[in-house]
Amino acid sequence: MFLVLLLDLGSGSSARAQEERPNLLIEISVQKEVIVFKEGKEVIEYVPVDKVQSDDILVYNITYTNVGENDAQNASVVDPIPDGTTYVMDSAGGEGADILYSIDGGFSYHRPPVTYEGTKADGSVEEIMAPAAMYTHIKWVIGKIIAPGMSGLLSFKVKVK
């Protein structure tokens, strides 16, 4: 599975603005969620992914670090839901981030619950809540200033089809 991350740090058209832009380093790790029994209780553990099978839960952790010399403001990270998986509802996280979702291939993003217009049998239109299988992308808009040396963690879970 490959992830494509799009990082937006704001716009700057001049060469000087490009030189002064922050530099966020993005690191991605993937772990598999497994249930083990310890002392007679079910416990969730996270293990390296060696192989996957249907119904496995994978946890994607995206660490961002400002390795530049300037503050990052209004940064956003976009990640597609990997092919062959389905987003696990309400699993995306990121301290200080506004989390948005796309069901149209990343063309538009919405706060949950994400809805779309459907047509009833009588021809009238209704708003329908999008199921997890329709989610195509997640976007984190990091509301805080990311100072040089500062880092943060974004995450989400998917279920293997």
pLDDT of residue 11: 42
For the cut 50, the answer to whether the pLDDT of residue 74 exceeds it is yes
> If DSSP codes are grouped into helix, strand and coil, which group holds residue 53?
coil
Rounded mean pLDDT, 99-115: 97
pLDDT of residue 23: 87
Give the integer Cα–Cα distance in Å for 48 and 31: 5
Compute and round to an integer the Cα radius of gyration of the chain: 19
For the cut 90, the answer to whether the pLDDT of residue 12 exceeds it is no
Q: Which residue has the higher pLDDT, 105 or 22?
A: 105
pLDDT of residue 120: 85
For the cut 70, the answer to whether the pLDDT of residue 72 exceeds it is yes
| Residue 88 pLDDT level (bands cut at 50, 70, 90) | very high
Rounded mean pLDDT, 102-109: 97
Rounded mean pLDDT, 33-53: 93
| Residue 135 pLDDT level (bands cut at 50, 70, 90) | very high
Pick the closest to residue 91 from 34, 33, 29, 48 (CA basis).
33
Q: Which residue has the higher pLDDT, 101 or 15?
A: 101
Written as six digits, the tokens of 13 are: 């058209």
